[in-house]
Structure 1
């Protein structure tokens, strides 16, 4: 009888044990992006997509997609902590990648491609329910919901008044044949302002920034191996400055050049024309045009003796910053230009009606010039 009672007690205990131990359920959390993240009164960051970090590029200053890593200052990496950290440092862009890295900036590299959102799917180490980018891909947040993300740009003018330098363009540079062969220095805090000041102090009237952290000075904008400097497309100069990631400081073998406005004779005549500062103009390149939407939409006229100087003087005297020549004898004036309409210089091949040694555009192709003086103000 005793053994039966013990058996009954054992069965009841076993049943209770089974009832008290629930089956294990797999409740893995799927991380998600947050459409928006508040960052204090009146400030919100919005999800703007998945961007590549450019890990494959040999980094120097300004080569990253976002250049200011603040991970070490955060207690843990979540979307909220990263955005809050960037906001506290007055950055408008915040990015999280590799699940554990937070970086900030006020401009994203123009070379950083936007990827499919599925490329950013790693959970944050500080919150497994949130997505913190992908392997070397940023989940990117910005203070504006819809405007294009800002990219580094070249300031049109550095400095003020007679001490200022005007941007002349992006030029090819080589170690063997320097476009600017004078004094130089490198710095982890390079900016166009720092470079132009250095060159002016060294009595040079040309200054160029390259590789994000290099400054070069010169007397003439010309490579020893060439009859004239090689003007590159503006998009070739895209590397952010090591000291100001919103500004461009050249790129690999590309130098962003600035010229002092108080010295009219430092440049090759093919680039800078005219000895009178009021009428000096810079060659900007060849641009496409259309009848529906003119590249330059201001004053225009035709002349059987058209030259670049005739067109430029007419436009600048009417306070237009740009002068454009088309079909040999047409002149157009304007104050704004769409850089995306730049085309190969060989497309502007029609001789000027008043000077057949030089081209004056082509069929819906504009030889474009800008005023040196008016572009300063």
Structure 2
């Protein structure tokens, strides 16, 4: 291509079978953990399930811990809340529930491979994937919209907006949050309308305000924090109830705390006795354009300013904010156009100290460790300062089947430019950003095929985690960018090769070698292949129109599965094959001397005698190379199929003096991802070896490392992507031309990303 990296690999993705379920009792495939988990009695791992940030699969209590999250801490948190399911996501998020809702379904086990922030030996889900744990108890009936509570009648689900509330007065009911406690609070304060939102927020008023309107009942899908059998609204959605009787008195607005730790009119003040260098900054408006802090901790009924600051400081944040008596937020900057509020609006006492001000409804008491507060503007779509040739295409709908196949999760540092650059570096002309911290790469055709189309721009409202003045999509919404240059400029030589069908084959060969006699020798596995196979066949290309005479049976004596082959630099151009499948075959040294002429069968066959000639160590998946002095170098492998590593190299013919193989620490360190290493002789006579995602140059006499080369690029989604087996890339020397003064070039292409895969299942491709 003229100005864009070309693709060197055709990618194939295997789609797992997905089982739909409204709740889960026990059928999930169990995951392997690297150490035993210390879970409460009866709790067990239940596998990996899907999650949707816009409609969670577990809708009970939740919290985030960017430093100390473990499976145990999440499960214990859910146990304390009386939940039977616990789920961990994105290394640091914990969710609880009594039912799996909103379409949560089985996911591929390897999707849940993110190490926990507090213990890297444990797995804490993945992106939009939950590592699920279950108490062993059967779930209670799923939540429902309560039709009535006494004289309170349900009006359905209504829209809300944090900046302009549908019901204007927020209270905090006493006791476990439920429809009953919220309606009771509104009754006691003289309001005929009660609304529950986001599982644990209660709003009261005398009328609907600010354009609040009825929405589908399914939008109110979050169980009440204190009663999981009832729905209490959703994100920006209210379950609204109307009182049909007579109220005890007129409306009484919330004052000083509304039941959440405020002093019932007692004055509250900012905290002053704080650990240096923390100090009070100001009262800020929250929610006018979205949350102004990027990180929210779990609600704490015993919250104090000191405890909120301690939690934020422990995670290296320099700003802390308290809201509505029990909510603590952390960050390093304020985002989403945060503005100063009236100091008198931060008038709710802290849940754990009623003399301290912990914000108010949509108001934050903000504290700083630097003496400054940086408030960033409302984020906008980035249309300028993009990489050359790229432009914004709109807010694109995403879904359960992702629009773009390659996903990167940059929790704290996602930017539009970085996402585009990463996609472009690996040859992808389309980039999408979602949920503020996700980058997707793919092709323009993916957007055309896999997306229902563009969504309203307002749906892409999440600030980028690494650039909060710009937008990076939203829940199941992609900020979509594409490359507008010419992708179809190919430089094709006048003479090109082509593929032709010549003749039907006898077997699927493991090794195909063109011989000095102009015929092609095919080797296939013996013993583990077809029972009537001889393991070797020779094809006479002059007889491809005569199937009966084109093939000659040859014979091997042991199984050549996953062996290595080369042509020796002798007069007969003998073919050498070493290693194999198991037992004696892994020590195998096999020789074939081609003879015969086109149209005339040869008489030679493969020679092998384990008792006379064999490798010093058995090898499965080794590589071999003819060195400048004519000796044969054999490198790496394992002792048999999926066996222990053989991190050594040896020479044929075997030098005298007992075992002469040499240990290589770099082979041991990178097993099992270094099989079939790439070997090439350089013009200097030194030896290039490429393995996994590393490469080095060896001295051909001592085999010491002369130079360690930079790591090879991985896949677009992981720098750990590899090239050698089981990642299944390939390598070749590019042609050299007289006078042979140009630098030698080695092309390595294909491979796979490292995804905790086994040799039997490893299917995430590397492009480039």
TM-score for both structures, normalised by structure 1: 0.42
Q: Which has the higher strand share?
A: 1
**Which of the pair has the greater relative contact order for Cα pairs under 8 Å at 6+ separation?**
1
Question: Rg: which structure is higher?
Answer: 2
Q: Which has the higher helix share?
A: 1
TM-score for both structures, normalised by structure 2: 0.23
